[in-house]
Structure 1
């Protein structure tokens, strides 16, 4: 009789195990977004009351540009981080960091190393084996999608940002401005750059701290006993 302890989990348990990372972060995203909405609604109404205006309901707040710009400005900076990281690590190296490729592998690497074209394996994605534009796009699809999402979310930030900016100025009896004018306004760049600098700091810190520090069992860290100079080695 087969030992039940060695029976692989099935159904829902297997799905949760196989997708634990994306499920945990997805749930965390939804919870933090909900928390942001609750806190943002309270703060928004505090401002309205201070200005002797009528507070809005929670559902109404979710449709405001104030909420939308707060969300989109965070999204665009996160996707910028990953876009730069995905493309930057093709060429840029950091000696001793598991976040870097090995020092002799800078660049897009050979077809053999990337298992494309004639070097594709039986289990390789189909577009890795074909030539032409499909292979070219698939070979850069991760960074491309990250870049497109960044640009779209940055555009959304600018649109919702100018709406929020004008709503605030109208409440203060000041004239609104157009979208193109807002793109050169201090408010737009203040919102943008305060997010960019935090993301770049976080990525840079991870790259250099992982040279000297360890997290046992994490693929973002080198093995605990690996030399500080070991590059491109994951735990």
Structure 2
């Protein structure tokens, strides 16, 4: 197997989903600019250019409100599954492993192997931070995209208000407005429903060969077992 073929195989999950992400982003941009320009033409206003739409608040708020809900889902899931359990689900740890587990279980400090990350072998703050780095980064992505959504959202919201000759909102006013929370909670509820559905459906249903599923013949009560 060539080096290129090996790289594609070894990284196929990230590459396929990353490519799909870019294609759907392009599709969203194309359909979004068509919708906005249809509305502008219907109101006897000048259509926006592709560059104008891509750098404008309408596109930014639509993208970032989806991103922040996705990263919220992963942040809550990563931290929640430290302590929360679901009997029979491969999405849950075994019922006797709730919590942060021992250093031996986590292979940190003196229990780290030769191939363990350097920060897993370190002591003090470095190990503490690295031990929670995945959740912390997801939290940072969530907060960053949430803030970006709020900034882009108030800009898009005020553009509509100005067209209707209404006074603009400040950022603080918008963050506590019904429009902002209607957009935000629509996304949050769908992500939380998806997580809850996956946790409980994977108790009883199977997908052969997927690490998100238990082995097909595993008992419904088997917990923390992946196929």
What TM-score range do you get, normalising by the shorter chain? over 0.9
Give a deviation string over 1:198-235, Cα, whole Å, max 9, x none: 00000110000000000000000000000000000000
Runs of 4+ in 1 over 4 A off after TM superposition: none
| Partner in structure 1 of residue 216 of structure 2 | 224
Structure 1: runs of 5+ lacking an equivalent? 1-8
Q: Secondary structure at the match of 2:32?
A: helix
Give how far 1:52 is off: 1.3
TM-score, structure 1 normalization: 0.96
Pairwise mapping of residues 142-157 of structure 1 onto structure 2 (< 5 A)?
142-157=134-149
Give how far 1:33 is off: 0.3
Q: Secondary structure at the match of 2:216?
A: coil
Q: Structure 2 CA distance, aligned partners of 1:103 and 1:79?
A: 26
Give a deviation string over 1:145-170, Cα, whole Å, max 9, x none: 00011001000000000000000111
Q: Secondary structure at the match of 1:42?
A: helix
Instruction: Check if 1:135 corresponds to 2:127.
Output: yes
Instruction: Check if 1:29 corresponds to 2:21.
Output: yes
* Count, aligned residues: 227
Give how far 1:51 is off: 1.4
| Partner in structure 2 of residue 215 of structure 1 | 207
Q: Structure 2 CA distance, aligned partners of 1:51 and 1:173?
A: 14
Instruction: Check if 1:101 corresponds to 2:93.
Output: yes
Instruction: Check if 1:123 corresponds to 2:106.
Output: no
Instruction: Check if 1:62 corresponds to 2:54.
Output: yes
Q: Secondary structure at the match of 2:162?
A: helix
Give a deviation string over 1:4-45, Cα, whole Å, max 9, x none: xxxxx2221111000000000000000000000000001111
Give how far 1:49 is off: 1.3
Alpha-carbon RMSD across the aligned residues, in angstroms, is 0.6
Structure 2: runs of 5+ lacking an equivalent? none
TM-score, structure 2 normalization: 0.99
Q: Secondary structure at the match of 1:217?
A: coil
Instruction: Check if 1:87 corresponds to 2:79.
Output: yes
